[in-house]
Chain A
Amino acid sequence: MKVKNKKKITNKIIALFISILIVSITFTISFSLSSSVVKADEQFGCCELTRTELICQETERGNCQSGFHSGQACSQINSCRPGTCVPPYGRCMPQKTRQECEAVEGFWTSEQMESIVVCQEGCCGIAEGIKAEVLQKKECTELAIRLGYTVEDIEFDTSITSQTECFKKYATQDRGCCVLGGGQCSYSIRESCTNLGGNFVPLAGDKYCKDVTACAAKSHAYYDCGNLPGTEFDIYWFDSQGSQEDVYDDCNYPISICTEYETGEVECKGTTCEVIGIAQEIIEYTDKNGFLKIASGDKPPLVKTDDVNEFLLTGQSTCYNFFSHFDGIEDNGLYGKSTGLQNQILHCRLGDLEIEGLGTDREKLCFVAEQGTPTQHASVHENEWEECTSCGSGGGIFGVGDLFGPFPPMGKILNGLLADYCEPESCNDAGDCVYHEDYPSFFGLSTRIGSCNPKYPPGTVEACHECGRGGDGLWNICDKSECASLGDCQFRPASIWEGMAWGIIITLVATYMIKINFIPAEFVLCTAGSIFPGCNPLELVADRWNRYAKGPIGPFVGMLSFWDSKSTVGRTLGIITSAAGAIGAITTIMGFFKK
């Protein structure tokens, strides 16, 4: 007895020890894991000065020379907060850190740039237009001083922020010839002549320094772009002393503009841009109610190629869009992808086209606004495609109604009662979506079979698995057209065996559903008594229940009854049938996702 008791106590002690060991190991492991997470955080943060002399950078501790703030963003550190920097020379800059600003001996403030007077932009006119440019006020002052003028010689107009308008403002200033002595002359504005210490000789429209006796200039020595305010866009003659004379060529800006080339040539370069190319356009039909849809199938193209041939003026822009590889041209079974295609904006800049790519993810769309007008421009919109595939999902009782939808005569009604279905109207309302119709409604007695998909295919693959699914995915079949609309997806046609298997299943289920759909109609007619004389509605319902509900469900119920059996054989059969059912269910689910 004593030995037994001793053994019991020993076992208890061992069990207690092992329990304590397990608990302490658990704590140790959890602490060490969490501490490694803490360490990772500690290694990254804001550095006031990096080893490469960069100021206020978010980086790792090892890269930091001084002032490391672990786990903090630089904007949380006082000396690294972004604000407006007013440097001693040059333009004000927004969102610069205090340290960067002070490193160049600038003045930093947390105020927005627009509210700081010296940082406001406007038309800067110096000496009544000897120089006219859109600058910040402080830049204007610095320029005036650099040119030898004073603050009093400055005129600053914040209402003008366009360079062209600024030039125009000072184009009509009093001009003449500034005689400097010794035969030297300069065609300029009165104010600048005073500063040069010369004698200003006012000149009428077609008179120049060559017409002034005291000037030894040779007229029409060369031509170049004008250098007086308001003349920069045209070509002028210059005399041998560099004084501007009469017009050589009026470029008639904005039609053309004076342009110099490295060869020394000067010409009026046209500012219009010719756009020639091939872009894409989405093909869309509308149903009889005016809602967008696309006829689904294997062949029909999602997009068509569109010849682009237009002229743009400077400051205008147009769209150059590419949505999908699937343009209806046979790809020899290669099933090409749309990866890399993007929408682009073409801007016309003084005769040259500038390209603005909107991204290969095709999250941004380009539409032309005010087409054909002088203010034509390409505008950017977000591609709202994310909600498309959820059209028709939910509603009713677990979406059961989708089973009945495509089958007349009660399909539409039953679907409406028991679930939700997607129509072109609701699809169009879901965003930038279009309805892909596989099969139309049967005289309004059934729902359509199809899907709601992105109208402009996004440049991702995250929606590819939605092919053949969606809100009404039960009867939707993935086809080439739907696949192409979902993104950079590649369509793989089903094998002949897969096709046959699905065909059999769909046929069986469709047959079953059609029969179910007729039951309410049969009940109504039976109740009316006119078609089926002697028909008892209750017997009809019981009969249909036995045939189409209890019948198919019966075997499953039967299988379950084996499990309840007390005998070994019964239980064994119950286990086998349940396992078979489970395997079948898992296989079905896996196949569903694989699809």
Chain B
Amino acid sequence: MLVKSKRGQVTTFIIIAIVIVAVALFIIFLRPRITDLFMSEQRATELLASQVEPIRDAVADCVSESSQDFFITTALQGGNYDPGSLPRIYLAGQEYVVVMYKDSNMVRVNKLPMTSSIELDYINFLEGEGYIKIDECLNNFDSFKRNVDIELGQRKITADIHDEIIIFNVDWPLTIKKQTITKTITQQVTQKQAQFLMPFGNLWQVAADIVECESQVDCDFEGVKIDEYIWDYPQLLKYISFTSSSVDENNIAWILESQPYRENEEKYQFYFGIMREYEG
């Protein structure tokens, strides 16, 4: 009888201990939420404000990072992200997309895309794979969602190609929220511009000048013409080097390369080919 009574007491204490441990665990894991629930409006506002810049920075960095491949690839393919059936010149293991050639009617055709075309191509790139890359980079804002709730707005990202830099205009309104005991505090986040330190505009400019000459009947961009160009445009060519290799007198491969002069800037290349005669 005495043994039975002692066993019963132990059981009670065990149950009490389990309950205490469970409550402690409950408090530990749900403490932030509990704390948040009892957070004051001022504190919530401060918290939201502190998340704005990190979110803007994360978006800008991911947009820049996810877009670099597009412009690097485009530059290596004569301004075309997808060159399709444009003719090619093959030289020393490298392929050069031809952007000026004669068609079967012996008429010169300029296939170097305008910068506005490239900017439109960028939008198509985003629709196709760019947005997916951005979302992967942001990881769905998981790191921010631990502290705040995020509501995503409709996004639209465009690129402006400048001489020395590419600017991304990010129109992606976000709403971040914080629930308090009395009400939900919200904060609008408007994105900032992102940028990519690639002198795409200058590289394209030199390519356009070469193609413009070659697409005229009596102009070959060679010899003294190049010397005149160097003399006339020192500011443009200060940080752009160029090399041309002729497969033969009618097929020329051009390699333009930027020389970095800003911190964290890298070298970038712009490749393209010229075919002076119809190749069939």
Which positions in A face B, CB cutoff 8 Å? 50-54, 57-60, 63, 73-76, 82, 85, 87-91, 93-97, 100, 103-104, 106, 113, 134, 161-164, 167, 232-233, 253-254, 257, 259-264, 314-317, 342, 345, 347-350, 352, 354-361, 363-364, 366, 369, 377-380, 382
| Contact A164-B232, Cβ < 8 Å, known A53-B124, A93-B212 | yes
* B120 pairs with A50, CB closer than 8 A: no
Residues of B within 8 A of A378 (CB): 223-224, 227
Residues of B within 8 A of A352 (CB): 241
| Contact A355-B243, Cβ < 8 Å, known A317-B227, A363-B249, A378-B224 | yes
User: Which chain B residue shows the least CB distance to A370?
Assistant: B224
Contact of B116 among A76, A87, A263, A345 (CB under 8 A): A87
Bound form: Cα–Cα A363–B249 in Å: 6
Bound form: Cα–Cα A59–B114 in Å: 22
| Contact A82-B230, Cβ < 8 Å, known A257-B238, A262-B263 | no
Residues of A within 8 A of B26 (CB): none
Residues of B within 8 A of A350 (CB): 230, 234, 237-238
- Report the tally of A-B residue pairs with Cβ distances under 8 A: 189
Bound form: Cα–Cα A104–B120 in Å: 8
Residues of A within 8 A of B183 (CB): none
Say whether B260 faces chain A, with CB atoms less than 8 Å apart. yes
| Contact A57-B223, Cβ < 8 Å, known A73-B104, A94-B110, A314-B231 | no
Residues of B within 8 A of A90 (CB): 114-116
Which of A75, A314, A317, A348 gathers most chain B CB within 10 Å?
A75
**Contact-residue size bin, chain B (C-beta under 8 Å from the other chain):** 35 or more
Contact of B227 among A103, A106, A164, A347 (CB under 8 A): A347
Q: Looking at the assembled complex, report how far the CB atom of A560 sits from the nearest CB atom of chain B, in whole angstroms.
A: 52
Stretch at the interface among B32-40, B49-57, B82-90: B82-90
User: Which chain B residue shows the least CB distance to A165?
Assistant: B232
* B84 pairs with A377, CB closer than 8 A: no
Q: Looking at the assembled complex, report how far the CB atom of B247 sits from the nearest CB atom of chain A, in whole angstroms.
A: 7
Complex interface residues of chain B between 97 and 144 (CB less than 8 A to chain A): 100, 103-105, 107-110, 112, 114-117, 120, 124
Residues of B within 8 A of A50 (CB): 84-85
Say whether B29 faces chain A, with CB atoms less than 8 Å apart. no
* A97 pairs with B234, CB closer than 8 A: no
Contact of B261 among A75, A134, A261 (CB under 8 A): A261
Per CB-CB distance, the 5 closest pairs between chain A and chain B, nearest first, are A359-B246, A73-B105, A52-B84, A315-B231, A95-B110
Residues of A within 8 A of B22 (CB): none
Say whether B13 faces chain A, with CB atoms less than 8 Å apart. no
Q: Looking at the assembled complex, report how far the CB atom of B192 sits from the nearest CB atom of chain A, in whole angstroms.
A: 20
Bound form: Cα–Cα A366–B249 in Å: 13
| Contact A315-B235, Cβ < 8 Å, known A357-B244, A361-B249 | no
Residues of A within 8 A of B110 (CB): 82, 93-96
| Contact A377-B223, Cβ < 8 Å, known A74-B103, A354-B241, A354-B242 | yes
Say whether B46 faces chain A, with CB atoms less than 8 Å apart. no
A-B contacts, 10 listed (Cβ < 8 Å): A96-B110, A106-B116, A162-B233, A232-B235, A260-B262, A262-B262, A349-B230, A356-B223, A358-B222, A378-B224
Complex interface residues of chain B between 244 and 268 (CB less than 8 A to chain A): 244-249, 260-265
Say whether B5 faces chain A, with CB atoms less than 8 Å apart. no
| Contact A317-B120, Cβ < 8 Å, known A94-B216, A356-B243 | no
Query: Given A97-B109, A260-B262, A361-B248, 19 more contacts at CB 8 Å?
Result: A52-B84, A52-B85, A54-B85, A58-B103, A73-B104, A93-B212, A94-B216, A103-B117, A163-B236, A257-B238, A260-B261, A350-B238, A354-B242, A355-B243, A356-B222, A356-B244, A358-B246, A360-B246, A361-B246
Contact of A63 among B85, B223, B261 (CB under 8 A): B85
Residues of B within 8 A of A167 (CB): 235
Q: Looking at the assembled complex, report how far the CB atom of B205 sits from the nearest CB atom of chain A, in whole angstroms.
A: 8
Q: Looking at the assembled complex, report how far the CB atom of B215 sits from the nearest CB atom of chain A, in whole angstroms.
A: 4
Say whether B208 faces chain A, with CB atoms less than 8 Å apart. yes
Q: Looking at the assembled complex, report how far the CB atom of A82 sits from the nearest CB atom of chain B, in whole angstroms.
A: 6
Say whether B226 faces chain A, with CB atoms less than 8 Å apart. yes
